[in-house]
């Protein structure tokens, strides 16, 4: 085995997260509790998954940290930005995801995590009204202030490396606009001219992170790094980017179950998906413009798995509908229903019903951990630009649509991509080829 191409994970890893809400506080509490041996990071691939290397008598199953040099949970230092000034302890209590007895053992550490002022524009999230926000004259000013935040955090905490991740609310839908988003030069010009229509606050975070030599992760369905301007920025700064939208509940089920229908060559008449969710994310998504951003992300999954051009008799005319309904009594305990109308032999109809009562942040926290650790790994391995091997963790994986590339949404193909990337970084040949 040869790990010489991957730099060792030495020193502290700063994890700076945009949004100190339910997902982020659940993530932070879980990591801090796991470090004390008081909880287990269940659901995190980086902590539990095994990758087979070798064949026959040479076959072995290695954890990620045995295969490649991974950052340890003990090395992580947390930082955050949020529109609300509450520290991580108060934010975790307010989120009502975890029981108080599961938060108290790390209270002191959480209270030290005080969010920096957020780069925020209420026009992009009308349901939020926090006042812990930066006073920025232009989008470029936003970028400069965020860059200073990252530099200060790095210095004050003695971080050797930093990863920046977005785990804040979904912004309103921003269509890709080529005159602004088509190149780095036009994006920078728009930022300096304060184009508040085409430059979302999330783009300022992404630009600032990349400019400061930090990988950036987009955990919401926002139009942020999935534009040619950001791909150019990632190439220029030689930093990894990935996104978008953490794949947690319903879409995880869809990306795993749709291949069953396709592999078995059954037909699809329609797939109706609906959710009820009561946390801050649900509140923001109750705004139609914000929901549109999420809808585009969630709809993309099925169409790249069950494709009309591959099997026109089976998938040429199915109806796909996605809904999210804000329902405060459930808070973070999301419930999703899927009604799937399929047809089989001689066109006889059948139905499948899936009811998933999940906990949104409990599923999202390990995904956030994995993306942070694997983005850091990619940076140390000299991998930059779009990280397709991280598609496994995302609802709408990034891809170069300008070249006609299609995202891979099949969960099992995504897992193979992930394992093969790890094999290659660990000095092994990929040995599970995709069709």
CB 163 within 8 A of CB 16: yes
- 7-21 average pLDDT score: 97
CB 308 within 8 A of CB 315: yes
Comparing C-alpha atoms, which of 48, 21, 56, 12 is closest to residue 157? 12
> Which whole number is the average pLDDT over 189-203?
97
What's the pLDDT at 196?
96
Intrachain domains 12-246+361-425 and 250-357 with the same fold: no
Residue 216 · residue 205 · CB < 8 Å: yes
Joined tokens for residue 176:
């890709």
Each residue of 264-278: pLDDT tens digit? 999 999 999 998 888
Least confident of 188-197, 328-337, 357-366: 328-337
CATH code 3.40.190.10 for 250-357: no
Q: Which of 197, 247, 248, 249 is nearest to 223 (CA)?
A: 197
Dihedral sign from CA coordinates of 277, 281, 287, 289:
negative
Q: Give the CATH fold of the 12-246+361-425 domain.
A: Rossmann fold (3.40.50)
Residue 310 has pLDDT above 90, yes or no: yes
Q: How does pLDDT run across 96-121, given as a tens digit for each residue? A: 999 999 999 999 999 999 999 999 99
- For residues 83 and 128, the model is more confident at 83
Taking the C-alpha atoms of residue 79 and residue 165, their distance in angstroms, rounded to an integer, is 10
The rounded mean pLDDT for the chain is 93
Are 368 and 390 in contact by the 8 Å Cβ rule? The answer is no
- Tell me: pLDDT of 198 over 90: yes
What do you get for the CA distance between the two ends of the chain, in Å?
A: 27
| Sequence spans of domains, the chain | 12-246+361-425, 250-357
Residue 2 has pLDDT above 50, yes or no: no
pTM over 0.85: yes
φ and ψ at 17, to 5 degrees?
Answer: -115, 135
**Secondary structure element (H or E) that encloses residue 335, with its range:** strand 335-343
Q: CB-based contacts of 160: which residues, under 8 Å, 6+ apart?
A: 10, 11, 12, 13
How are the residues of the chain apportioned to helix, strand and coil, as percentages rounded to the nearest 5? 45, 20, 35
Quick one: pLDDT at residue 141?
A: 98
Give kind and range of the element (H or E) at residue 313. Answer: helix 312-315
Nearest to 115 by CA among 134, 136, 132: 132
Q: What percent of the chain has pLDDT over 90?
A: 83
Could you report the per-residue pLDDT of 395-405, keeping only the tens digit for each? Answer: 999 999 999 99
Q: How many CB atoms lie within 10 A of CB 147?
A: 16
Instruction: Supply 228's token pair.
Output: 């040619």
Number of Cβ within a 10 Å radius of residue 199: 28
* Cα 110 from Cα 87, distance rounded (Å): 7
| Residue 22 pLDDT exceeds 70 | yes
At 298, is the pLDDT very low, low, confident or very high (cuts 50, 70, 90)?
low
| Per-residue pLDDT reduced to its tens digit, 128-163 | 888 999 999 999 999 999 999 999 999 999 999 999
């Amino acid at each position: 085995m040869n790990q010489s191409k991957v730099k060792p994970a030495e020193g502290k890893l700063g994890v700076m997260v945009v949004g100190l809400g339910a997902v982020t506080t659940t993530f932070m509490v879980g990591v801090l509790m796991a470090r004390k041996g008081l909880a287990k990071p269940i659901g995190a691939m980086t902590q539990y998954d095994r990758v087979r290397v070798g064949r026959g008598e040479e076959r072995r199953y290695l954890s990620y940290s045995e295969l490649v040099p991974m950052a340890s949970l003990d090395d992580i230092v947390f930082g955050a930005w949020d529109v609300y000034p509450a520290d991580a302890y108060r934010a975790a209590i307010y989120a009502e995801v975890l029981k108080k007895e599961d938060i108290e053992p790390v209270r002191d550490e959480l209270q030290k995590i005080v969010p920096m002022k957020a780069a925020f524009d209420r026009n992009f999230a009308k349901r939020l009204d926090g006042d812990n926000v930066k006073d920025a004259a232009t989008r470029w000013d936003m970028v400069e202030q965020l860059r200073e935040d990252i530099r200060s955090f790095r210095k004050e905490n003695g971080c050797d490396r930093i990863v920046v991740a977005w785990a804040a609310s979904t912004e309103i839908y921003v269509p890709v606009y080529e005159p602004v988003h088509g190149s780095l030069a036009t994006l920078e010009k728009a930022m300096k001219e304060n184009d508040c229509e085409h430059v979302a606050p999330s783009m300022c975070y992404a630009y600032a992170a990349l400019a400061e030599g930090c990988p950036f992760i987009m955990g919401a369905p926002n139009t942020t790094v999935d534009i040619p301007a950001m791909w150019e920025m990632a190439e220029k700064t030689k930093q990894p980017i990935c996104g978008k939208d953490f794949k947690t509940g319903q879409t995880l089920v869809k990306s795993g179950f749709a291949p069953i229908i396709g592999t078995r060559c059954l037909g699809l008449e329609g797939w109706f998906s609906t959710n009820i969710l009561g946390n801050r994310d649900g509140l923001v998504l109750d705004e139609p413009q914000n929901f549109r951003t999420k809808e585009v992300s969630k709809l993309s999954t099925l169409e790249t798995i069950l494709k009309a051009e591959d099997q026109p008799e089976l998938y040429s005319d199915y109806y796909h509908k996605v809904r999210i309904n804000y329902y405060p009594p459930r808070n973070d305990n999301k419930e999703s229903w899927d009604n799937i109308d399929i047809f089989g032999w001689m066109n006889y109809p059948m139905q499948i019903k899936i009811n998933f009562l999940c906990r949104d942040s409990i599923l999202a926290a390990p995904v956030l951990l994995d993306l942070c650790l694997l983005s850091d790994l990619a940076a140390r391995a000299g991998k930059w630009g779009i990280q397709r091997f991280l598609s496994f963790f995302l609802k709408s994986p990034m891809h170069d649509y300008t070249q006609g590339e299609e995202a891979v949404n099949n969960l099992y193909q995504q897992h193979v991509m992930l394992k093969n990337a790890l094999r290659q970084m660990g000095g092994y040949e990929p040995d599970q080829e995709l069709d």
